[in-house]
Amino acid sequence: MSGPAREVYEALRGWWSRPDGPIVVRTSGSTGAAKDVLLSHAALTAATNAAANRLDGHGQWLLDLPPDRAGGLMVLVRSVAAGTSPVLTSDHGSVTAAVAALSEPRCFTALVPTQLHRLAMSGELGSLTRFEAVLVGGASLRPDLLLRCAEEGVRVVRTYGMTETCGGCVYDGHPLDDVGVRLGAEGRIELCGPMMFDGYAGDPELTARVLRAGWLRTDDLGRLDGDGRLQVLGRIDEVVVSGGVNVSLPAVAAAVRLVPGVADAVVVALDDAEWGSRVVACVTCQPGAATPSLPRVREVCARTLPRAWAPRSVVRVAAFPLLPGGGKVDRAALAALAADER
C-alpha cells in the first residue's frame, strides 16, 4: 500500500468490508532487501482485537507514522475496525495541534523512539498525556526517555513485532492473547499466533525458511525472565566477533549512552585487519558538550561490560541517518560514515 494517509484509510475501509485477498506491505529494508509481506484480513483482525483487549478497548487513533509501513498501517486498521476517524498529524502540522483535534474520550497513538525524543526536546511531551496509551516500537527506547515520559504522565507501552506479525504483538515484554513466544537456537526469538503473515509475495523459498509450522523465526535475540517476560537483546547480525570475542553491539551502545555529554549512541562494526571487526561508537552529543575521548568511553563501558567489548574508535555525528519512515537508523549508511571518519 502506498499514497497519502487519507487515501490509504479510504482504501482500507473498502477492502475491510469486502476483502479480495491479502494486502501487500513492504518492509522497511532495515535488515537487508525490502520484502513484500502478505497480510490477510484474518491476521489483521486478530492483531487488532488482541491490541484492543490489551488496551481495554478501542478508541480514536492519531497517525504520525507513514501509512505504508506496519506501524502506521495498523493505526489505520484499528481505526477502520473501531469505526472511528483517525486524526492525521499531516493535516494539522504538528502532534500538539493534532492532539487538539481528537474528539473521542479514549485516544491512542503509535510512535517510534525518534519521534518521542523530538517531542521531549521541543517541550511537547506533555501533549501526549491525552492518550490512554502511546505505543512505541520500531527501535529500542532509552531508559532515561522512558523515565521522563513516566514523570510527565505519559503512558508508554513498548511494543515488539514486525511487519510479518501485523506490527507489535508483544507489549511491555508480555505477548498479546494467543501469541506464542519461544527462544530457538542461540536465543533467536520465535513467534506464533493468528496475526502471522501468509508469506512473502513471490518468494516461497524465503517464506518456507522463516515460517515453519506456524512459527516465525526472527533475526532477533532475546531472553525470557522467570515470569515469561521477553527482553529483546538485539539482532543476530548485531553480535560480532572482535579480537576473537563475541560482542553485542546494542549492549555496547547502551553503555556508551552513559558517558557524560553523550545524547545518543549507535555502535557499528567495521572490517579490520587486526581485530576482524572493529567496534566503533557513533555518538551525538548534548548541546555544548565536547566529543568524549576514546579512553573515557572505554572506561565507562568497562564498568558494566567486559573490557574487550569496549569500542576501539569514537565518531561524532550531527545526526544518525535514518531509513524511510524516520524511525530506524540506516546502519549501512552510518557504517560508511564512520569508515570515512577513521
Where are the chain's structural domains? 5-233, 243-341
Phi first, then psi: give them for residue 78, nearest 5 degrees.
-65, -35
Q: pLDDT at position 1, please?
A: 40
Report, as an integer, the average pLDDT of 226-255. Answer: 87
Report, as an integer, the average pLDDT of 116-135. Answer: 94
62-90 pLDDT, tens digit per residue, is 999 999 889 999 999 999 999 999 999 98
Report, as an integer, the average pLDDT of 22-50. Answer: 87
Q: pLDDT at position 31, please?
A: 52
Residue 186 pLDDT greater than 90, yes or no: no
Higher pLDDT, 194 or 342: 194
Local structure of residue 198 (DSSP, 8 states): -
Q: pLDDT at position 342, please?
A: 64
**What's the CATH code, domain 243-341?**
3.30.300.30
Q: Do domains 5-233 and 243-341 have the same CATH topology?
A: no
- Specify the range with the lowest mean pLDDT, choosing from 19-33, 114-128, 205-219, 257-271: 19-33
- The DSSP code sequence of 265-314 is EEEEEEEETTTEEEEEEEEEE-TTPPPPPHHHHHHHHHHHS-GGGS-SEE
Residue 280 pLDDT greater than 60, yes or no: yes
Residue 14 pLDDT greater than 70, yes or no: yes
Vertex 337: Cα angle to 332 and 342 (nearest 5): 125
- Specify the range with the lowest mean pLDDT, choosing from 72-86, 209-223, 292-306, 314-328: 314-328
**What gap in Å lies between CA 210 and CA 119, rounded to an integer?**
37
130-172 pLDDT, tens digit per residue, is 999 999 998 778 788 899 999 999 999 999 999 999 999 999 9
Q: pLDDT at position 110, please?
A: 97
Residues 59 and 84 sit within 8 Å (Cβ to Cβ): yes
Q: Which residue has the cell 509501513?
A: 69
Q: Which residue has the cell 504538528?
A: 94
Q: pLDDT at position 30, please?
A: 54
Q: Is 226 helix (H, G, I), strand (E, B) or coil?
A: coil
Q: pLDDT at position 244, please?
A: 87
**Residue 23: pLDDT band by 50, 70, 90 thresholds?**
very high
Q: pLDDT at position 16, please?
A: 94
**What gap in Å lies between CA 191 and CA 270, rounded to an integer?**
31
Phi first, then psi: give them for residue 126, nearest 5 degrees.
-60, -25
Encode 150-178: b = buried (16+ Cβ within 10 Å), e = exposed. Answer: eeeebebbbbbbbbbbbbbbbbebebbee
**What's the CATH code, domain 5-233?**
3.40.50.12780
Helix residue ranges per DSSP H, the chain? 5-17, 41-54, 70-82, 89-92, 95-100, 113-121, 143-151, 204-210, 249-256, 294-304, 331-341
Mean pLDDT of the chain, nearest integer: 91
